[in-house]
Amino acid sequence: MIDLILVGYGKMGKMIESIIDPNDFRVTGKFDVSNPVSENLKDKPNVAIEFSTPASVIGNIEFLASRGVNVVCGTTGWYDKAESVKAIVEKYGTGFVYASNFSIGVNIFFRIVKEAAKLLDKYPGYSIDIEETHHTQKLDKPSGTAIRIADYLIESIRRKNKFSSDEPSPEEDSINIVSKRIENVVGNHKVVFESNADEITLEHNAKSRIGFAEGALLAAKFIHGKKGFYRFEDIFTSI
């Protein structure tokens, strides 16, 4: 049995709670903006699942690590601070696993994109674009998942070195990410390779938030009793 707290009790916190198997997890606390974990944590849980906001996530991670709590972090929009978060986790000797996207389907999609990138490296006639669409309440832009896709493409395609997201860039070595915000879209990512002759589209479409919640709970089982800083996409096939 894993004692679990939910830090951030919005759409994702509630979805996770709704699918928890009581044979595996006991929810011992739920924290939100009106009930901050740093002020109200009483009993130490085994694992915290953190889905809050880009503005609050780092403070929550630091507080939880300082209390010796292992963390599954789903909040996006903080990856420019990944090195300092890693240092926090190492300082307190806790366990931490994060993902821009906990759905197994997206993690399979990442592997497919990686393979496609190796092929596309050999065919310079193809342009490469990413499009991501999410609901209108999403705070960060582009999505963490779109940034990961861009990273994978840049890793293998030598003619691409960066991505641009605010304005389409005319620079040949840049991958453009177009972000769209449309009511009720859970999460859609497309990678489009286009030549004069044809167009190849790879697409992942999340039908609901269940996939993210299932992945986050898998990650909670993985990180229970472990130390170290992990990215879910590196470890998901082993769990």
Ligand X SMILES: NC(=O)c1ccc[n+]([C@@H]2O[C@H](COP(=O)([O-])OP(=O)(O)OC[C@H]3O[C@@H](n4cnc5c(N)ncnc54)[C@H](O)[C@@H]3O)[C@@H](O)[C@H]2O)c1
Q: Mutual orientation of helices 104-120 and 210-223 as an angle, nearest 10°?
A: 90
Site for ligand X in 34-53 (CB under 6 A): 36-37, 51-53
Spatial contact of 72 and 216, defined as CB atoms under 8 Å apart: yes
Binder to ligand X among 46, 94, 100, 133 (CB under 6 A)?
100
If one counts every other C-beta atom within 10 angstroms of the C-beta of residue 151, the result is 15
Decide: is 78 part of the binding site for ligand X (CB under 6 A). Answer: no
- Of 134-193, binders to ligand X (CB under 6 A) are 137-138
Residue 33 sits in the site that holds ligand X (CB under 6 A)? yes
Handedness of CA 169, 82, 111, 160 (dihedral sign): positive
Could you tell me the smallest distance in angstroms from the CB atom of residue 96 to ligand X? 14
Question: At closest approach, how far in Å is the CB of 120 from ligand X?
Answer: 26
Determine which one of 114, 138, 141, 224 is catalytic. Answer: 138
Among 10, 17, 62, 224, binds ligand X (CB under 6 A): 10
Q: Which class for 75: exposed (0-12), middle (13-18), buried (19 or more C-beta within 10 A)?
A: buried
The 8-class DSSP code of residue 80 comes to G
Report the candidate in 206, 85, 192 with the shortest Cα–Cα distance to residue 138: 206
Active site residue 204: no
Is 138 annotated in the active site? yes
Supply the minimum distance, in Å, between the C-beta of residue 144 and ligand X: 7
Strand order in the sheet with 70-73: 25-31, 2-7, 47-50, 70-73, 95-98, 228-231
Whichever of 51 and 126 has its CB closer to ligand X, that residue is 51
> Counting contacts by CB under 6 A, is residue 19 touching ligand X?
no
**Contacts with ligand X: how many residues (CB under 6 A)?**
29
Q: Which is nearer to ligand X, 119 or 239 (CB)?
A: 239
- Residue 155 sits at the vertex; the CA angle it makes with 150 and 160, to the nearest 5 degrees, is 65
Under rule CB under 6 A, residue 99 binds ligand X: yes
- Single out the segment in contact with ligand X by CB under 6 A; choices: 99-107, 110-118, 156-164, 193-201: 99-107
Neighbours of 236 (CB within 10 A): 23
Which residue numbers are catalytic?
A: 134, 138
Site of interaction with ligand X (CB under 6 A): 7-13, 31-33, 36-37, 51-54, 56, 60, 74-77, 99-102, 137-138, 212
